[in-house]
Chain A
Amino acid sequence: MCLSIPSKVLEIDENNVALVETLGVTRRVSLDLISDTVKVGEYVLIHVGYAMEKIDTKFALESLEIYKKIAEDMANGEIDEDEGDMGLSAMSEKR
């Protein structure tokens, strides 16, 4: 019941209800739980008819870049286990 996936906001009506698209399927969800302004084109995480939170796509893409760097370093034999790098945690703390 907890699985929910990112949805793109297509329209927002005067009742604070958004039309969102998830993998080709559209549905209407309430934006009543979101304090920030949600704009058309942004991504939200939806659950049982409500948007729970906006998704920081920039941060998600930055995370993927870090994983890609790890994979490249491993392929090149450059990974150093003693670096003390705790995955993305160092990045999280910067926010």
Chain B
Amino acid sequence: MTLINEFRDKDLILALSELIKRESVKPLNIMEICGGHTHSIMKFGLTGLVGEKINFVHGPGCPVCIMPKSRIDEAVKIASRDDVILCTLADMLKVPGSITSLQKLRADGADIRALYSPLDCIKIAQENLSKNIIFFAIGFETTTPMTASLMQKTVELGIKNLFFHINHVTVPAPVRAIMDDESVKIDAFLGPSHVSVITGYEIYEDIAKDYKRPIAVSGFEPLDIMDSVLNLVRQQNAGTYNVYNEYARVVSRSGNLKAKELINRYFEPCDFNWRGLGVIKDSGMKIRQEFSYLDARMKFDCEVNSKAESKACICGEILRGRAKPYDCKIFAKACTPKNPIGSCMVSSEGACAAYFKYAKEAI
């Protein structure tokens, strides 16, 4: 589609770069909540285009990065059973748990499948009636409705051998947890693109007001991010803290109502233990009591003794915006994309992986 190339137009990006540099008068620490933004910022070299006043801080918005070892250990325990086929999105396979990863377990013979779409589980369940199919569900509000849609199809079709291990999380709770930490210095936020397609940008309005911080919901293209940064600079100069919807071509104030309704029908909030951040109240989703017969954590023994995170790894500090990847002693040494120690190196959208790939010269 030509729109993609248009939103990467060099002349337009340079014009915005010039404006940002010209209008930035004070230092501005902008946390990009979403790992997709981290990836784009590094891939397109935007740190070099926004001037020295702007400091991008990488936030907790990557579902792979924030997955605690214990949840992966649970998946490994279930997937080790002979009567189970475990299905998940490909991003999760490489993530190391306490002992192994799903990828290594698969190499050892377990039936673990990477899906293109959650809906693929239906066919797998219908073709393997003697097996229990487990969908290991991950992601923020972006992917939660897809899981809910699969649950709805499971109920409608009367499928009896498909169960759900839910690891869905939400954006507002960790943002508030980070802002409540007084050692964190964030002046403004880039709001996640695709989370906002589902939730609408209204979920940031109270955060902007409560913490007096401007928020720009931004698309992933370089022009999107540059325009959003310019807006945040101008809001800083004007002393305002509004929610700016740069990504209006797909994001509305109220979001995708059909998707939100599906989420509410099948899920309710619960506490979630974020890798690197710890337990955050009401930051995750669990299956409602009415549909608990679909819950893999109820059906299977999931008790695990997970090991603590590596002491050398500072992913928690990085996800809070208190450190950069190259502040970590094991970054690009013991911890690399081929042998990730910390969660931020595992996913290609993790801050450490993005720095490893695109910013070697900065190390």
Please list the residues of chain A having a beta carbon within 8 angstroms of any beta carbon in chain B.
1-8, 22-23, 27, 29-30, 32-35, 43, 45, 47-50, 52-57, 59-61, 63-64, 67-68, 70-71, 74-75, 79, 81, 84, 86-89, 91-92, 95
Q: Given the complex, which residues of A lie within 8 Å of B220, measured CB to CB?
A: 2-3
Q: Given the complex, which residues of A lie within 8 Å of B349, measured CB to CB?
A: 1-3
Interface positions of B from 7 to 47, Cβ below 8 Å from A = 7, 9, 11-12, 14-16, 18-19, 22-23, 34-36, 39
Contacts A50-B149, A53-B250, A88-B248 hold; do A6 and B198 have CB atoms under 8 A apart? no
Residues B1 and A74 in contact, CB atoms below 8 Å apart: no
DSSP majority for the B interface?
Answer: helix
Task: Give the docked Cα–Cα distance between A68 and B231 (Å).
Answer: 17
Residues B234 and A52 in contact, CB atoms below 8 Å apart: no
Residue interface mask B235-255, A partner, CB < 8 A = 1? 100100010111011100000
When C-beta atoms are compared, the residue in chain B nearest to A1 turns out to be B91
Residues B117 and A33 in contact, CB atoms below 8 Å apart: no
DSSP majority for the A interface?
Answer: mixed
One of B76-84, B140-148, B271-279, B312-320 at the interface = B140-148
When C-beta atoms are compared, the residue in chain B nearest to A66 turns out to be B227
CB distance from B284 to the nearest CB of A (A): 17
Task: Give the docked Cα–Cα distance between A1 and B195 (Å).
Answer: 12
Task: Give the docked Cα–Cα distance between A71 and B14 (Å).
Answer: 8
Residues B244 and A23 in contact, CB atoms below 8 Å apart: no
Residues B194 and A50 in contact, CB atoms below 8 Å apart: no
Task: Give the docked Cα–Cα distance between A79 and B226 (Å).
Answer: 17
| Most chain A beta-carbon contacts within 10 A, residue among B19, B23, B115, B228 | B19
Residues A2 and B117 in contact, CB atoms below 8 Å apart: no
Please list the residues of chain B having a beta carbon within 8 angstroms of any beta carbon in chain A.
1, 3-4, 6-7, 9, 11-12, 14-16, 18-19, 22-23, 34-36, 39, 61-64, 89, 91, 115-120, 139-140, 142-143, 145-146, 149, 192-195, 197-198, 220, 223, 227-228, 230-231, 234-235, 238, 242, 244-246, 248-250, 256-259, 262, 347, 349
Task: Give the docked Cα–Cα distance between A33 and B145 (Å).
Answer: 8
The 3 closest A-B pairs by CB, nearest first: A49-B117, A71-B15, A2-B36
Q: Given the complex, which residues of B lie within 8 Å of A30, measured CB to CB?
A: 117, 119, 149
Q: Given the complex, which residues of B lie within 8 Å of A4, measured CB to CB?
A: 194
Q: Given the complex, which residues of B lie within 8 Å of A95, measured CB to CB?
A: 248
When C-beta atoms are compared, the residue in chain A nearest to B246 turns out to be A88
Q: Given the complex, which residues of A lie within 8 Å of B223, measured CB to CB?
A: 64, 67
Residues A57 and B249 in contact, CB atoms below 8 Å apart: yes
CB distance from A20 to the nearest CB of B (A): 11
Task: Give the docked Cα–Cα distance between A84 and B245 (Å).
Answer: 17
Residues A70 and B142 in contact, CB atoms below 8 Å apart: no
When C-beta atoms are compared, the residue in chain A nearest to B228 turns out to be A87
Other A-B pairs, 4, CB within 8 Å; known A32-B149, A60-B249, A74-B18: A60-B3, A64-B223, A81-B23, A86-B235
Residues B118 and A52 in contact, CB atoms below 8 Å apart: no
CB distance from A38 to the nearest CB of B (A): 12
Task: Give the docked Cα–Cα distance between A52 and B247 (Å).
Answer: 14
Residue from B115, B119, B192 in contact with A2 in the complex, judged by beta carbons closer than 8 Å: B192
Residues B1 and A3 in contact, CB atoms below 8 Å apart: no
Task: Give the docked Cα–Cα distance between A17 and B3 (Å).
Answer: 24
A-B contact pairs, 30 of them (CB 8 A): A1-B91, A1-B143, A2-B34, A2-B140, A2-B195, A3-B220, A4-B194, A5-B1, A29-B117, A34-B258, A35-B257, A47-B146, A47-B194, A48-B115, A48-B143, A49-B119, A49-B146, A50-B119, A52-B197, A64-B12, A67-B15, A70-B15, A74-B15, A74-B19, A79-B19, A87-B234, A87-B246, A89-B242, A89-B245, A92-B248
